[in-house]
Amino acid sequence: MDSKNLVVNLTFDIAKKNKIFFEKIQVAGNTKTRDKVVRRELWVAEGELYNVTGLNKSRDRLKRLGFFKEVEFTTSRGSTDEKINLDIKVEEAPTGAVSFGVGYGSMEGAVASASVSDRNLFGLGYSAALRFRLGRRRRMEGLVLRTLTFLDPDTVRGRTSITKGANSILILIRSPEEIYGLEGS
């Protein structure tokens, strides 16, 4: 230390250690959501090199799904010094909804609507909704099915629509994973 010139000399001793790999990844607490849905959101895999960035991205992706109240990652020692286990603990959140509505319009008159939906249908990560709308002039039923992944989740998504006749099926694909169908009069 040179107090006259206000300089401090530091020496760092860096010791190279062995690389650490993920041995097992275990998911607990998922009473509804299937393991494969959790694992497809992970940016780390068994046998891969330990990666803090991948762990952080994985945690963020799982939280962003909206299927879980809590997401907690912990690590434990594996079968050797070069292996580590990743334990993922989740707490399921409610994903279903039921809604009813009534309204009035000058063209349609009184209108009633109802909807039943689930953002994690059967624990597979599918979003589904069944919708009904009844008015004096028109009646509509709708089934909406959406999946978080279609082919490749990183694929750029496009817009397509197909219609046929007044009382026939309408399919509107806003992106490849959103399918709206069964609209009638």
What DSSP assignment string belongs to 138-160?
-EEEEEEEEES-SS-TTSPP--E
Domains and CATH numbers, the chain: 21-92 (3.10.20.310), 96-181 (no CATH)
In this structure, which amino acid lies at residue 44? V
Measure the CA–CA gap between 160 and 142, rounded to whole angstroms: 18
pTM of the prediction?
0.68
Mean pLDDT of the chain: 81
Residue 61 structure tokens: 């992706």
pLDDT band at 150 (very low <50, low <70, confident <90, very high): low
Within the chain, what is the greatest distance between any pair of CA atoms?
A: 91
Q: What is the pLDDT of residues 77-124, one digit of tens each?
A: 999 999 999 999 999 999 999 999 999 988 888 999 999 999 999 998
Measure the CA–CA gap between 22 and 161, rounded to whole angstroms: 44
